[in-house]
Structure 1
């Protein structure tokens, strides 16, 4: 997740030790030997699958030059330049400097980084992967001279030295160690999810110090879902209704590669993660991530019995929409994509019946995506033909509350109703500055 940081990082991104093509725009070091170039290529893959570009590349900006604004409870911060420019980037960093920043949240000059940089997760990244990442950012990324922008956080909250104490309380140092009794694939998946993937940054709820409530499966809150900048990052445990309990291994692997399956479609920050990161997973690591996530016991949920599909009551409402304000909105604006039966046309158009995001207790994601839509999923360079449009300019707060309450009750979903005040609050926070 968390109304924490928008750019804490996206969920389900991974680090791989295998070679791959460098992302578009990557520079090739002149005269690099075969061994060095292999290390740079490996680092390029790690950076891509760690979704580094999502935070360190601003819209229409140059790769990794920073400038992306991120909202925090204390104010707005701006992501830094991590190109190898000597004056404004990290060109003067040694490998040790780079490793310290990545895994301990301390810059070369000694100042503490905000934990918008998910270094509590990166602390688990092993030395070999750190070395490859350093090689890529030093020799595979084009230097960009672009000064970093100061945060909008006001004094005294902008002082960084208290973060030393935050680190003392919440940072667990040391790379991931294989768990005895678990096989190679499970440990590989755990390393990817917990480490460079930093899935917990979005999908784990935060404590009173804005720390992740758990950093691995030993904590019951780990990956149980959390609110992040107006979106609810989904439950990734085995919970049957709101988590992955009804997803098969194939369902999960398909979602990681394409952002959609028979249960749900990606939205919000997860769209960027799919576009820039997880679709690049190789088959071995897709299987490892899926195996690890599918091993997590059920946590959270809405307290309802296991979902079973029942269209009858909803069909009656849709046959007589004049009697139901939510049904009227649904028939006018939603039914042509999501169907009378609520099953949509998966994976192109998301189902609403039994969708874990519809069943979630927190309706923030449903409100947000109805107001603002979501970005295009772009798989292998091809945009999705049917992105979710935004209805903020078309529907008022009551109409959105009515239709979402209808959807959350429909097809036996049995989720709580949505209030117009909830819609108004998210409209105000997400539309500000647009």
Structure 2
């Protein structure tokens, strides 16, 4: 008993010392950035609204069916569900009691009003490069324009001891240290602006960069490792490779990237899943200059070595077979029954309506997660001011795993696509991911 007690006390003391050391780093004790911000300045508020859209604050801090910025969106993690917090200026349940210094520490350093570290689901590791002027504009917008909502924050379902926050101080010390944006002098002004957005407020890497064992992004910028924006899986979706290579954006023009970010669709592709939310809440509102800057920056990202083309349109024998009623290839008959009406016998869909499957980098991606999930649950293109009509794809979860695997394998190996097979195990695994998706927190009693 005494030995156990001593061990427990020693462990508690070690944890306390570790937390204390982490909090005594310059990162935690950096001077509070006090500033006078006119939260009633219309120009500053308008700038803050634009920046909040660039940062896509609404997508995470607004639950489906909930009030804007009141939180409650459930986010799946390997350890449990996190719920986004209320960031309206309600003084009791939101951030209404935050002064500018509190706000700056939360956004750029990941430190709550009470001094506790925030979970890295909040992309402060990217927001850290935002300028003082941008943080002031954001503060003016949230405090001076967003409607306060009285809605308590939901507790995470992460069990003890994984839910203790003190280790996050060490995580921040290792992976979210203070830094500034350092533009690459080899890029022109437009590409530098694109880099600033992609690496910073737009936090593209939070989804599109692979993560390490500690859930840290393996690269926060194009540092030569070519890990940055090379694709990653998050909540069962494969956030595609954005580098200039075959499984990424090599076949996309700058104009196509701009159209995709503005409307959520191109002549051959469409946004779905989390990316549809990004377009709907964020990128559709960005200026043409900023969208082009992002596109130009992405197009100059070099390909990783050893990446070969995974689409060879000259080898297409599928179109003729489907048009002649030749269904000898496994999965082809099921494709004709369930998919061909929209995506066509030639796999090219209908421009800006039904996305192409032929030559679509999501289809022949190394990781088929997104293809499997959207086939199971369906999808919807985003509503935007640029194209009011949204199109919906039904889900096919009623089909057995074996048949779905055959259909998807057929798609990934037809019309010149050259990708590995999808197995029944892949489909079964994705069914579990879909089944375990969290229920969002939207209390009926939330009030403005």
TM-score of the superposed pair, with normalisation by structure 2: 0.86
Match of 1:129 in 2: 134
Match of 1:115 in 2: 120
The alignment partner of 1:299 has SS state of coil
Q: Does 1:233 pair with 2:231?
A: no
Q: Say if 1:57 and 1:64, in contact at 8 Å, map to a contact too.
A: yes
* Deviation of 1:313 (Å): 4.2
Q: Does 1:249 pair with 2:254?
A: yes
Q: Distance in 2 between matches of 1:177 and 1:95?
A: 25
Q: Say if 1:204 and 1:225, in contact at 8 Å, map to a contact too.
A: yes
Q: Distance in 1 between matches of 2:165 and 2:436?
A: 28
Match of 1:190 in 2: 195
Q: How does 1:20-419 map to 2 (within 5 A)?
A: 36-218=41-223, 219-239=225-245, 241-299=246-304, 303-304=308-309, 307-316=312-321, 319-380=324-385, 383-393=388-398, 395-419=399-423
Q: Say if 1:275 and 1:377, in contact at 8 Å, map to a contact too.
A: yes
* Deviation of 1:230 (Å): 0.7
Q: Distance in 2 between matches of 1:326 and 1:301?
A: 31
Q: Say if 2:311 and 2:417, in contact at 8 Å, map to a contact too.
A: no
Q: Distance in 2 between matches of 1:43 and 1:300?
A: 40
* Deviation of 1:199 (Å): 0.1
Q: Say if 2:39 and 2:45, in contact at 8 Å, map to a contact too.
A: no
Distance 1:362 1:345, change over 3 A: same
Q: Say if 1:205 and 1:226, in contact at 8 Å, map to a contact too.
A: yes
* Deviation of 1:427 (Å): 1.1
* Deviation of 1:414 (Å): 1.1
Q: Distance in 2 between matches of 1:75 and 1:68?
A: 13
Q: Say if 1:327 and 1:406, in contact at 8 Å, map to a contact too.
A: yes
1:350-397 Cα shifts (integer Å, max 9, x gaps): 00110010110111011000000113421217543532211112x111
Q: Which runs of 5+ in 1 are unaligned?
A: 1-30
Q: Distance in 1 between matches of 2:228 and 2:94?
A: 34
Distance 1:304 1:32, change over 3 A: closer
The alignment partner of 1:421 has SS state of helix
* Deviation of 1:154 (Å): 0.8
Q: Say if 1:326 and 1:403, in contact at 8 Å, map to a contact too.
A: yes
Q: Distance in 2 between matches of 1:324 and 1:39?
A: 61
1:71-120 Cα shifts (integer Å, max 9, x gaps): 11111111111011111111111111111110111001001100000000
Q: Distance in 1 between matches of 2:283 and 2:205?
A: 15
The alignment partner of 1:378 has SS state of coil
* Deviation of 1:428 (Å): 2.0
Q: Which runs of 5+ in 2 are unaligned?
A: 1-37, 440-448
- Whose radius of gyration is greater, 1 or 2? 2
The alignment partner of 1:427 has SS state of helix
Distance 1:280 1:346, change over 3 A: same
Q: Distance in 2 between matches of 1:313 and 1:181?
A: 45
Q: Say if 1:264 and 1:356, in contact at 8 Å, map to a contact too.
A: no
Q: Distance in 2 between matches of 1:317 and 1:302?
A: 31
Q: Say if 2:130 and 2:201, in contact at 8 Å, map to a contact too.
A: yes
Q: Distance in 2 between matches of 1:142 and 1:270?
A: 26
Q: Say if 2:267 and 2:352, in contact at 8 Å, map to a contact too.
A: yes
Distance 1:288 1:130, change over 3 A: same
TM-score of the superposed pair, with normalisation by structure 1: 0.88
Q: Distance in 2 between matches of 1:310 and 1:49?
A: 41
Distance 1:402 1:301, change over 3 A: farther
RMSD: 1.9
* Deviation of 1:312 (Å): 2.2
Q: Distance in 1 between matches of 2:51 and 2:45?
A: 10
The alignment partner of 2:81 has SS state of strand
The alignment partner of 2:331 has SS state of helix
* Deviation of 1:317 (Å): 5.4
Q: Distance in 2 between matches of 1:188 and 1:255?
A: 19
